[in-house]
């Protein structure tokens, strides 16, 4: 039985290696198990497939966020819960997306830079520190953390299950679903 639901966008933002995709996929799994219509927009996959011509200047990053936001808006207005996992480093770009989406939940996936570097299996931080990757968020480009996110997950201090529970609880209290109770997942 398909769960009756209103669309929404859950926007996971944070540094590379903070755990956005891992958390996003775990939330997706719980929502799907509960019969929800869910779509994941992963920043890395979007860059590979839809925004390949964009670079990493502030303007290009903001355009990337704008495009992801437009797609999320279209899906969410059609009853889909959209989970976005994207660094989206600039607060103003995230705020513009928020203005266009009726049910928007910002999740700050927060982990210290040192922890993100330790988790970096692709070696991106090391390449950025050696100058091989310019404009890398957190190294030579800024990351502007949300001032008032609906949810903050401290992935250096919480288990994945604890972070998932926080996100699901916020989804439930936002009344996105009219049938399911996510807190019991």
Phi-psi group of 175: left, alpha or beta (phi > 0 → left; psi -120 to 50 → alpha; rest → beta): left
User: How many other C-beta atoms are found inside a 10 Å radius of the C-beta of residue 129?
Assistant: 13
Give the whole-angstrom CA distance, residue 40 versus residue 72.
9
Burial class (CB in 10 A: 0-12, 13-18, 19+), 68: buried
Angle at 183 between CA 182 and CA 184, to 5 degrees: 90
Rounded to an integer, what distance in angstroms lies between the CA atom of residue 62 and that of residue 92?
9
Do the bridges between strand 104-110 and strand 81-85 make them parallel or antiparallel, or are there none, so unpaired?
unpaired
Is 88 assigned a catalytic role? yes
Residue of 16, 88, 163, 177 with catalytic role: 88
What are the catalytic residues? 88
């Amino acid at each position: 039985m398909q769960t009756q639901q209103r669309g929404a966008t859950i926007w996971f933002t944070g540094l590379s290696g903070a755990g956005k995709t891992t958390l996003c996929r775990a939330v997706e799994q719980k929502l799907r198990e509960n019969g929800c219509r869910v779509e994941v927009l992963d920043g890395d996959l979007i860059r590979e497939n839809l925004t390949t011509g964009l670079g990493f200047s502030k303007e290009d990053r903001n355009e990337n966020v704008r495009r992801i936001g437009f797609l999320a808006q279209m899906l969410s207005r059609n009853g889909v819960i959209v989970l976005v996992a994207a660094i989206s480093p600039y607060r103003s770009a995230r705020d513009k997306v928020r203005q266009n989406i009726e049910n928007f939940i910002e999740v700050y996936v927060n982990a210290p830079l040192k922890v993100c570097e330790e988790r970096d299996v692709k070696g991106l931080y090391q390449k950025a520190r050696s100058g091989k990757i310019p404009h890398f968020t957190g190294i030579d480009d800024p990351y502007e953390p949300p001032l008032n996110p609906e949810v903050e997950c401290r992935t250096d201090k919480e288990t994945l299950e604890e972070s998932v529970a926080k996100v699901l609880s916020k989804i439930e209290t936002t009344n996105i679903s009219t049938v399911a109770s996510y807190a019991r997942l």
